[in-house]
Every structure is written in C-alpha cells, then in structure tokens.
Amino acid sequence: MLSTSNIDIVETLKLFKSANLPVSFIVPTRTGMEKSIMDATFEVREFLKQTNLHDFSRQEQGPENKIIIQTKMLSNDVVYETTTSLYRPNTKKGDPRIWISGLNKNAIPTDLVALIANRGALIAINCSKSNLNEILSTSNVIFKDLLSGLKVEMSEIAEELFGKICDVSKLGFVNTKRPGDTGVGYTLETLLGIQANSSKTPDYKGIEIKSGRLSSHSKGRTTLFSQVPAWEISNLKSSKDLLYKRGRFNEKKQRIQLFHELSVTKINSYDLQLETDMPQNSLHQIYVGGEEIEKDVTWKFEILQKRLLEKHKETFWITPQTKGRSGDPDEKFWYSK
C-alpha cells in the first residue's frame, strides 16, 4: 500500500511532475518481498493500460499467460537490466500481480518505487534510494540516457493558449468584470474571448483553465470536478436519503441541511470520513459515530478517473496579483503567474 511508503509520495510526485514525466508508484511489503509478489493496484493497472504496456482485463489466468516486460531498475544511482512479470494467478479470482525481478536485492519493504513507461519497456526507480533532484536534472547523465525522451510536451493547443495568456498578462492590472470570487475566472475568460458556461467540458478547445486568488490556490480550495456517488451500489440511494440520514436541523433556517467536508485522514464533526477500498477499487463515505462503521455512499475509482481525465486532460493553473478589497466592484487583477 502506498500509505506505507518510507518517503513522502506527494513531494516525490511533484519532482516527477516538474520534469513532465508520467509516473506510477508501488511500495513492496515485507510479505511481498519474501514471496516475490505484489498486487497490481488499480492505479498501476490504469498506468500500464494508458501507456499501452499491458491491459490486465484482457489477460487470462495462469502462469502460461504471464507477460514479461524488459525493465531498467535504478537504485543507489546504479542502473540494472532486469524484467517485470505481469500475471493473474489461478487463485484468488486472478487478482492482478506485478513483480520486478531482483527487486528484493535493490529495495527494502516500504521503499517507494516509481514506474515509467519506456517505449514498450519499463523504467523502475527506487525513489527511497535515489537522489531524485539530481537524477531528474536535465544535465544529469542518467536523465539524458534514460528519461529525456519520455517527457510529455505541451500540445499545439496548449502552446496557443499559453501565448494568449501571456498577452493578457502584458496588460498588467485590469478591472474585474464581475464582483466577487467568480470575477477572477470570468475576467480572465472574457479577456481570452471565452464565453461563460456551466458545461462540464473543459474551457478552451479541450483545455481546462483554473484561476483563483493566491489565498484559494495556496490552501488547495480549488474544485477539480463534481461527481455524484454510484447510487446503485451505495447503501443510501439518493441525495435525499443522505440528507435525512446524516443532515442536521438548522433552527435558524428551519430545515435539515448537510454542509461539510470529507477527508481520508480525519473524521469530521458529523462523524463522517472517506475510506479507500483498494480491493474493490472504490471510495466510500463512512459513518463512524455508531457501534459499527456504516458505509453510506460509494464512488468507483474508474468513474472518478474518467471524470478527472475528461475535465483535466490538460489544465492551466493561473494565479493573479490583486489590488483592492476582495469582492469589490473596482478590484483589479494582474494575471502574472
């Protein structure tokens, strides 16, 4: 499980993102090391599928259907030639498995290992035993030999949009075209010639534009997408059921309401929390305030991923400098970052 990694996954991911390298992660367990076996999690399976390396859904069970992929393993700044096996055993419903040959010689349990697609092969980097800041530098010999050709570059549409945004930036401070928080995005889109709409599709020729004040971006309060639960597999079957089951009566407004945030890492004031269910590839809202934990509603990972890719195949994040009081009709923005 990624949660057992001995280094910070988010900070590690940022390093790969800054180098424009698509990546997936695995963390070997002690049992996995001893048995030379690891679960191919949903994220790993999707990564292999999207990079055209392997589709587990098309693979038959049994050792005779095992797939071997040539792999370069990087650990302690040394590159090893090895192979990665992908298979579905005859037992346990054929749950997908992955194993990098020789991993137990180049890693320990809880090490974070990055997987990068390499033109029909794999590159595996033991992030826990590598100086990533140095390796991911464009001047590094290993980067030049292994990784430089794998970077994802901006599309032509992205280059076009980037040029338009640079032109807007050159205008300096401009008056908001709508007071309030929505003025940041509305003003930018107006200057870019984009008509406001409530569509779920991206803003500019397939590219999403996310703009907001520094305070909102720095605190992470930016909506990525919206997605209702999978009611058909949830214990609560509608928004109304959820409201009446978990909502609270507001004396002032004389109504039942449910306004709250959910987190995977902590329980909120409603005794609700998010729970990841890796075997079922699901995300649950759970209630922990009773004698037993109750699963209220469920989202499927593949649906969340589909929505994310629909909305954010390519995304620009823009933060303006501001003048004037937030929300005033004479507030000004300079789209500088």
As a whole number of angstroms, the distance between CA 203 and CA 200 comes to 9
Determine if residue 332 is left, alpha or beta; phi over 0 gives left, psi from -120 to 50 gives alpha, anything else beta. beta
The sheet with strand 97-100 has its strands ordered as: 24-26, 113-118, 121-126, 67-75, 78-87, 97-100, 38-39
pLDDT in tens, 268-323: 999 999 999 887 889 999 999 999 999 999 999 999 988 988 888 889 999 999 99
CA pair distance 231, 253, nearest whole angstrom: 28
Mean pLDDT of the chain: 90
Instruction: Label residue 335 by pLDDT band (50, 70, 90).
Output: very high
Domains and CATH numbers, the chain: 2-150 (2.40.330), 156-213+319-334 (3.40.210.20), 231-309 (no CATH)
User: Would the pTM count as exceeding 0.75?
Assistant: no
Q: What 8-state DSSP symbol labels residue 5?
A: -
Neighbouring residues of 70: CB distance < 8 A, sequence distance ≥ 6: 81, 83, 120, 121, 122
Residue with the bigger pLDDT between 181 and 234: it is 234
pLDDT at 218 over 60: no
* % residues pLDDT > 70 (the chain): 96
Candidates 16, 28, 37; CA nearest to 123 is 16
What would the mean pLDDT of 154-168 be, rounded to a whole number?
Answer: 93
Q: What are phi and psi of 216, to 5 degrees?
A: -75, -40
Sole residue written with tokens 């990665």: 84
Arithmetic mean of pLDDT, 11-17: 93
More confident call, 264 vs 221: 264
**Cα–chain-centroid distance for residue 256?**
34
Give the pLDDT band (50/70/90) at residue 255: very high
- 226 phi, psi to nearest 5 deg: -115, 145
Q: What are phi and psi of 263, to 5 degrees?
A: -135, 150
Query: pLDDT tens, 68-124?
Result: 999 999 998 889 999 999 999 998 788 999 999 999 999 999 999 999 999 899 999
